[in-house]
Amino acid sequence: MDSPRHSHRMGLLAVSIVVLTLALAPASAQSGSPDKAPWMNAGLSPDERAALVVKEMTIDEKISLLHGTGMAGLSPISPLAAQSNGGAGYVVGIPRLGIPAIQMSDAAYGVRNSGENGRYSTALPSDLAAAASWDLDAGYEYGALIGRELRAQGYNMSLGGGVNLAREPRNGRTFEYLGEDPILAGRMVGSVIRGLQAQHVIGDIKHYALNDQESGRNAVNVHIEKRSMRESDLLAFEIGVREGNPAAVMCSYNRVNGDYACENRYLLTDILKKDWNFKGFVLSDWQGAHSTVKASAAGLDHEEPGELFFGDAMKEAVQSGRVPMAEVDDHVRRILRSMFACGVIDDPPQKSVVDVVGGFEVARNIAEHSTVLLRNDQAQLPLDASRVHSIAVIGAHSDVGMISGGGSAQVDPPGGNAIMPAGKGQTRWQEPVWFPTSPLQAIRAKAPGAKVQFDPGTDSSSAVALAKTADVAIVFAYQWESEGMDLDSLSLPEHQDELIAVVAAANPHTIVVLETGGPVTMPWAGQVSGILEAWYAGTQGAEALANLIFGDVNPSAKLPITFPRSEADLPHRSVVQPPRESTTGDEPDAWKKIAAGLPAFQTTYDEGLKVGYKWYDAEKKQVLFPFGYGLSYSTYSYSNLRVTPGGTPGGNGRLNFTVTNTSNRAGVEIAEVYAALPAAAAEPPKRLVGWSKVKLNPAESKEVVVEIDPQYLSIFNADQNTWQLVPGDYTFLVGGSSQSLPLKQSVSLK
C-alpha cells in the first residue's frame, strides 16, 4: 500500500515522497493536528462527520478500512498487524486524519483471549442463560460489563451479539444465542448492544442470517420462503437492529436461497439497508467473503480477517470500473459513521485494570436470575442448612469448576482450565474448559455443619454408595457445545443419564444440576426430586447456584427454549451433515461443488413459521418442559384481564391484569402474554407478544400493564413486502408459561 502514512524510508527518495504527498494532500489535512479538523467537531452528526472525512481520503486509505490484516491459519498476515492488540481482527487507522485503528475482540459472554494477552476477563453466564432471565435491564448490564472490559484491554469493537434462533437445538452455538422466540431474542440482544455501545465500543449483531447449524456451515444452502424467514430469524434481527442500533452486522457463512449470506443482496441491501434503514456497516464472518464485485454490490462493506477480496482486488476492480467509487465511498462512510456514532474516535479506550470484584457481582447476579428451577418435587428445595446433616456432591468435575462454551466465544479462565494440573490449563480450540468456580466449595460454605463429600461419578457403584449415606445427593451433569460442530444428540454424554438414574434409585432426595448450552433429554426426570438448569454459569456460577439451592435467592428464570421429550419430536430428525471427504481421491459430487464454489448440500426449513414452541403447539406434541416455563419457591395467581386495542392506526395495544403472590415468600414472576391470530392469518396457534417481570412481597397483588407493538400481531406479506394486521378476532392469553395461560380474552381488530 502507498498511503502517505507509510512514507518513513530514509534518504532523498523518502523525502521526495513526503514532499509530494503533502503537496497533493487536501488543505484540511495539512492544517496541523487532525484534532482541529472539521470532522472532529462533536456537534456535527456522525453522518456529517463521516462525509467530511471521506472527501479527504486517498483511494488507498479508503480501501485500508475495508479489510483486516490477517489471521494465522485463515489468511496471510500483513506486517501492519504488528500493531494489533491480539484480538480477532485489526483494521489500520489513518493517523493524518485522526482515525484510530479498529481493535476487534470476540466477546460473546466475555472478552476472549485475555489470558493469552496476560489480562483478566469476567466470564458471564452464556447468552442463552441471560435470555432465561427475561430481563432487559440485566441484558443492558451484560453488554455494559463486556464493553467496560473491552476498553480496559484496549479494544474498541466487540464481536458478540449472536441472535440466530434455535431452529436446530443441536446447533453447537445454541449457547451463544438467545433462544427460539424472535421477540424475546430481539429485545434481549437490543438491550445487550445498548449497554455495550454506551461504553463507547462498536457493537455488532450476528450471524446474519439463518446460520442455525454449524455442521457444514461454509457449504450449506439454507432454503426457506420469505414470509417464514421474515417472521422468525429476520424478525429477531430486525428488532435487535431497531432497539439496539448496532454499529455493525456480521454476515454468516452459509448460503440463503442460493447466495452466500455475505454476498446476498436481498439480505444485505433490500432488507437490512433499505427496509430496516440500517446505517452501520456489514462485515463478513471470518473468511465469509467470497468475491469482490458481487459482494460489494450486494452490500458487504468490510472483509475479515484479511484482504483476499477487499484489498488489492478491490483497488483493481475500482480502477477497471467494475466497482464504482461511489460504492467504495458508501462502504467507507458507513464504517466511519459507526466509529463516530459509538464514540471510539472522541473517546478512545485507555488500557486499565479490570474491575474484577465488580465483574463477579454482575456475573453472580445474572446467574442467580438465569438458573431455571425445572422440578421441585415435594418442595425438596430450598435446602435448610440447619437440618441437612450430609450432602453427596457427585459428577461433572464439580469439586473444582463448572464448564463453559467453546469456540470463538471461549473466555480464558484465570489460572487456566480448572480440571487440568496447575500451569497446564491453557484453553485450546474445541476442547472443553471448566472455570474455577467450585460447587463443592460453595455448598460447603453454605452448610458448614453438614458433612459434604464428593464423588467424581466416573464409577457408578462408588457414586451410589456415597449417595446412600447422604441426606441429599446433588448430581452435576454437563453437555459441552462449541462453534464449528453440532451435537450428535440432545442426550447427556459419557453415560451421565445412567449415573443419574442409579443415584436417584439409591437416594429419593436427588437433585440434578445441569450445565448445558441448550436443551437436553431427561429419561430420569420423573425419578429425581429436583432439577436446576444452570446453563454455562460463568465465573460465579457455583456461588449463584449455592444461593439458589439454600434459598438465599428465590428462582425466577424461565426457559427461552423448549426442552423436547425426544429428538423424534424435533422438526428435523437429525442435523443435515455435509458429505465426508473421500480418502481414495474419488471425491463425491458435493465436494466437487464445494471446490467450484457451488452449494454442496441443502437444509430446507420446511417447518416454516413453526419455530420452537410454535412447532410443538401446531403439531400437538407434548414436551418435557415448555418455552417460558420455570418454577419458583413462591406461587402466583392471575386475574382481571382487560385488553385495550391500539387507539390509532399503528398504535400500541395494552393489556392490564393482576398478578398475586399466593405464598409467604417474596419473589419475582415473569408474566407472559401470547396472542392467537385470526384463522385467516394461517399462523401457528399462538405467539409471544410481550411480558413483564413483577416483584411481589408475600400475599401482594399488583396490576401489570403490557403494551403490544402492532408488528408483533402482524404477518409478513411477501408479495407486497410489508407487515399486515389481518382483520378478525385476536385472542390474548396471559400466564406463567407458554402452556400455563389462565387468562384469556378475545378482541376484534380491523
For every residue of 138-182, DSSP letters joined together read: HHHHHHHHHHHHHHHTT--EEE--B----SSTT-TTGGGS--S-H
Q: Are residues 525 and 649 located together in one domain of the fold?
A: no
So what's the pLDDT on residue 14?
Answer: 32
So what's the pLDDT on residue 750?
Answer: 82
So what's the pLDDT on residue 339?
Answer: 98
In a domain, 271, yes or no: no
Give just the sign of the alpha carbon dihedral 339, 341, 346, 348. negative
Take residue 146 and report the three cell numbers written for it. Answer: 463486556
d(CA 391, CA 503): 13
- Residue 726 identity (one-letter amino acid): V
So what's the pLDDT on residue 255?
Answer: 96
Give just the sign of the alpha carbon dihedral 267, 271, 274, 279. negative
In a domain, 141, yes or no: no
So what's the pLDDT on residue 580?
Answer: 59
Which of 542, 561, 580 represents a domain boundary (last residue)? 561
Q: Are 398 and 439 in contact (CB under 8 A)?
A: yes
Q: Are residues 547 and 639 located together in one domain of the fold?
A: no
In a domain, 690, yes or no: yes
Q: Are residues 397 and 527 located together in one domain of the fold?
A: yes
Q: Are residues 531 and 645 located together in one domain of the fold?
A: no
So what's the pLDDT on residue 667?
Answer: 98
Give strand pairing partners of 564.
623
pLDDT under 50 in the chain at which residues? 1-31, 583
Take residue 670 and report the three cell numbers written for it. Answer: 415473569
Radius of gyration of the chain (CA): 27
In a domain, 538, yes or no: yes
> Could you tell me whether strands 530-533 and 601-604 are parallel, antiparallel, or unpaired per DSSP bridges?
unpaired
Q: Domain of 512: which CATH number?
A: 3.40.50.1700
For the chain, the first-to-last Cα distance in angstroms comes to: 61
Q: Are 67 and 306 in contact (CB under 8 A)?
A: yes
d(CA 634, CA 162): 33
Q: Are residues 496 and 383 located together in one domain of the fold?
A: yes
pLDDT in tens, 525-544: 999 999 999 999 999 999 99
Q: Which residue range forms the structural domain that includes residue 497?
A: 366-419+430-561
Q: Are residues 380 and 528 located together in one domain of the fold?
A: yes
DSSP one-letter code for 4: G
pLDDT in tens, 82-117: 999 999 999 999 999 999 999 999 999 999 988 777
In a domain, 424, yes or no: no
Q: Domain of 704: which CATH number?
A: 2.60.40.10
In a domain, 155, yes or no: no
d(CA 115, CA 418): 14
Tell me if residue 596 falls in helix, strand or coil. coil
d(CA 537, CA 159): 20
Take residue 595 and report the three cell numbers written for it. Answer: 471446490
Q: Are 237 and 208 in contact (CB under 8 A)?
A: yes
Q: Are residues 387 and 488 located together in one domain of the fold?
A: yes
Q: Are 230 and 263 in contact (CB under 8 A)?
A: no
- Residue 369 identity (one-letter amino acid): H
d(CA 557, CA 631): 8
Q: Are residues 401 and 532 located together in one domain of the fold?
A: yes
Q: Are 231 and 223 in contact (CB under 8 A)?
A: no
What is the count of structural domains for the chain?
3
How many other CB atoms are there within 10 angstroms of residue 15's CB atom? 12
Nearest to 236 by CA among 196, 281, 271: 271
CA 305 to chain centre: 21
So what's the pLDDT on residue 424?
Answer: 59
Q: Are residues 380 and 493 located together in one domain of the fold?
A: yes
So what's the pLDDT on residue 8?
Answer: 33
Q: Are residues 497 and 398 located together in one domain of the fold?
A: yes
In a domain, 741, yes or no: yes
Q: Output the pTM of the full model.
A: 0.93
How many other CB atoms are there within 10 angstroms of residue 83's CB atom? 12
- Residue 302 identity (one-letter amino acid): H
So what's the pLDDT on residue 16?
Answer: 32
In a domain, 405, yes or no: yes
So what's the pLDDT on residue 78?
Answer: 94
Q: Are residues 540 and 400 located together in one domain of the fold?
A: yes
Q: Are residues 472 and 388 located together in one domain of the fold?
A: yes
So what's the pLDDT on residue 26?
Answer: 43
So what's the pLDDT on residue 179?
Answer: 98
Take residue 669 and report the three cell numbers written for it. Answer: 414472576
